[in-house]
């Protein structure tokens, strides 16, 4: 495994990040343990989760699974860069969500307890909170860093101007601020190329794309349907809307002799601002298959063809829409 730096930090992480959102709802605890063990065996040291994963309000089901896996010992916790998130609704009372200092303090303690660890390597704000001032957010995060409960702070689903605003406020406090941004980014969802990616590049944030396969649509969905697998109603609707592109896409990958999912990941990895796409395997085979993406190198001609099949916004703003 060739490791990469997380943004402007000195922290080395694997170029694929293990997403754990399926652990609990889709993947049993036993299978989740096997996937995490295999990830370490393969050299994947970057795991992403969130306090809301598991989708039982307030329970943090997925964090609990990770905690029980850590508790087995064997260097599991020491080898893993664990990233979790704060913002989501964890209860019915008014201060059990969002980014108030009150909620951040409580949420981090609960995540630490569930994951059976004394620190979180990267604590990510799961969404922007327009109601809470940056002075309050950064004061809370600084306190956690000083206490050794959090090492790095990241964002998720931020606009480019939110990143600039956050970093400006952090700089005034002589605080490192954000080191990463987790965004929706794939061949079919390229809006972040306008403002978010340029902001991340300017401020030294590593980009961690979520949904790199567009909910499975870029993973060879047409071929899977031909083989008799059923797509969800939501995915089927998107297939109907994008069938001409999907046909070109899967033909392109077939000509390369590569699986569409691997090419989709390789396309993200060719961008130097991207640190690690998040892969969310439900099975061991899905995990091990993802490694092929690390060996695929796309030529300029192939990248141009992909832009034709999946057009982006035209580059960074303002040139994408102005002279």
pLDDT at 225: 87
Judge whether 220 and 259 are in contact, CB under 8 Å. Answer: yes
pLDDT band at 173 (very low <50, low <70, confident <90, very high): very high
pLDDT computed for residue 229 by the predictor? 78
* pLDDT of the residue at 145: 98
Q: What is the CATH number of the domain that holds 85?
A: 3.20.20.100
Instruction: Output phi, psi for 59, to 5 deg.
Output: -90, -25
pLDDT bucket at 228, cuts 50 / 70 / 90: confident
> pLDDT per residue over 118-172, tens digit each?
999 999 999 999 999 999 999 999 999 999 999 999 999 999 999 999 999 999 9
Residue 96 falls inside a structural domain: yes
Q: Determine, yes or no, domain membership for 322.
A: no
What H or E segment, with its residue span, contains residue 113?
helix 101-115
Q: How many structural domains are present in the chain?
A: 1
pLDDT for the residue numbered 250: 98
Query: Is 323 within a domain?
Result: no
C-alpha 165, offset from chain centre: 22
**Cα–Cα distance for residue pair 70/116, rounded to 1 Å:** 7
Instruction: Tokens for 13, please give them.
Output: 């992480």
53 among known catalytic residues = yes
Quick one: pLDDT band at residue 233, thresholds 50, 70, 90? confident
Residue 81 belongs to a domain: yes
In sequence order, the 6+-apart residues with CB closer than 8 A to the CB of 37 are none
| pLDDT band, residue 236 (cuts 50/70/90) | confident
* pLDDT at site 312: 97
Partnered with residue 131 across adjacent β-strands are none
In a domain, 143, yes or no: yes
Residue 62: inside a domain, yes or no?
Answer: yes
Q: pTM (2 decimals)? A: 0.96
User: How far apart are the C-alpha atoms of 116 and 103, rounded to whole Å?
Assistant: 20
Segment 239-259, tens digit of pLDDT: 999 999 999 999 999 999 999
**Quick one: average pLDDT of 194-203?**
98
What pLDDT, on the 0 to 100 scale, is given for residue 226?
85
Evaluate whether residue 318 is within a structural domain.
Answer: no
Q: Tell me how far apart the alpha carbons of residues 193 and 190 are, in angstroms, rounded to a whole number.
A: 6
Query: What Cα–Cα distance (Å) separates residue 149 from each residue in 64, 145, 166?
Result: 18, 6, 21
Rounded to the nearest 10 degrees, what angle do helices 101-115 and 61-70 cross at? 50
Average of per-residue pLDDT across 289-304: 97
In a domain, 255, yes or no: yes
pLDDT tens across 89-111, in order? 999 999 999 999 999 999 999 99
Write the burial class of residue 158 (CB in 10 Å: 0-12 exposed, 13-18 middle, 19+ buried).
Answer: buried
Range of the domain at 275: 4-309
**Is 315 a residue whose pLDDT tops 80?**
yes
Which residue among 5, 53, 123, 152 is the active-site one? 53
Provide CB contacts within 8 A for 150, sequence distance 6+: 108, 119, 120, 122, 123, 141, 144
| pLDDT of 291 | 96
């Amino acid at each position: 495994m060739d490791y990469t730096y997380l943004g402007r930090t000195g922290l080395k992480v694997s170029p694929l990040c293990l997403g754990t959102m399926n652990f609990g709802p889709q993947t049993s605890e036993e299978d989740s343990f096997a996937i995490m063990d295999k990830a370490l065996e393969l050299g994947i040291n970057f795991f992403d989760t969130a306090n809301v994963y598991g989708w039982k309000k307030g329970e943090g089901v997925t964090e609990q699974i990770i905690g029980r896996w850590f508790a087995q010992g064997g260097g599991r916790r020491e080898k893993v860069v664990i990233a979790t998130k704060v913002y989501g609704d964890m209860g019915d009372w008014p201060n059990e969500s969002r980014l108030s200092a009150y909620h951040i303090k409580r949420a981090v303690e609960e995540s630490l307890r569930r994951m059976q660890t004394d620190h979180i390597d990267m604590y990510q704000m799961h969404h922007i909170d327009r109601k809470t001032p940056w002075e309050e957010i950064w004061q809370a995060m600084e306190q956690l860093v000083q206490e050794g409960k959090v090492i790095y702070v990241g964002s998720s689903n931020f606009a480019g101007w939110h990143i600039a605003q956050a970093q400006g406020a952090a700089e005034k406090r002589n605080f490192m601020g954000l080191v990463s941004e987790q965004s929706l980014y794939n061949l079919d969802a390229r809006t972040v190329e306008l403002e978010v990616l340029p902001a991340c590049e300017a401020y030294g944030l590593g980009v961690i794309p979520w949904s790199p396969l567009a909910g499975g649509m870029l993973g060879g969905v047409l071929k899977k349907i031909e083989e008799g697998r059923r797509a969800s109603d939501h995915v089927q609707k998107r297939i109907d809307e994008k069938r001409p592109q999907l046909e070109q896409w899967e033909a392109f990958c077939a000509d390369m002799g590569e699986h569409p999912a691997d090419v989709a990941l390789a396309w993200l990895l060719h961008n130097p601002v991207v640190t690690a796409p998040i892969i969310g395997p439900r099975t061991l085979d899905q995990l091990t298959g993802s490694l092929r993406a690390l060996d695929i190198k796309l030529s300029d001609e192939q990248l141009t063809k992909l832009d034709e099949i999946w057009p982006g916004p035209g580059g960074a703003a303002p040139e994408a829409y102005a002279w």
